Structure 1
Amino acid sequence: DVPRVNGQLAVARAFGDQSLKAHLSSEPDVRHVPIDPSIEFLILASDGLWKVSCYRSIWTSLCHPSA
């Protein structure tokens, strides 16, 4: 399980959750990371994706969409 804001919201930043506004920041955490041109895919995902899948199955889906 993950830490939750007021036992409800499982994120560190959110939009539209007025009742939890005092406990949240809508300011994004921005980072600049150089990307190697030889990399075929960049996967940006939340913990929700990693709860139901693993790196290998996502990579397989990207490389072989019909599989």
Structure 2
Amino acid sequence: MIAVTDETPTIRDVDDLLDDIYLGQDRITQSEIHRRAVAAEMPAEFLTRITAMPQGEYALDEAAEVLGEAPG
């Protein structure tokens, strides 16, 4: 399990989480990404970014692009 204690996850934290989520999977739903991020105890700011993603399935590179961006 990946546990992040700071309020803002680093790019490495995001990469580690996504690598774990996508292990053996091509596409994952936004709700599954959110569920797994909650289980990994990611900070609320990051969970909010996941919630803002449109519903649907994402390939790893698509999710990384959306979630790896600095909050605006």
- TM-score when scaled to structure 1? 0.27
Q: More helix per residue: 1 or 2?
A: 2
Between 1 and 2, higher relative CO (CA 8 Å, sep ≥ 6) is seen in 2
Q: More strand per residue: 1 or 2?
A: 2
- TM-score when scaled to structure 2? 0.26
Mark the structure with the bigger radius of gyration: 1
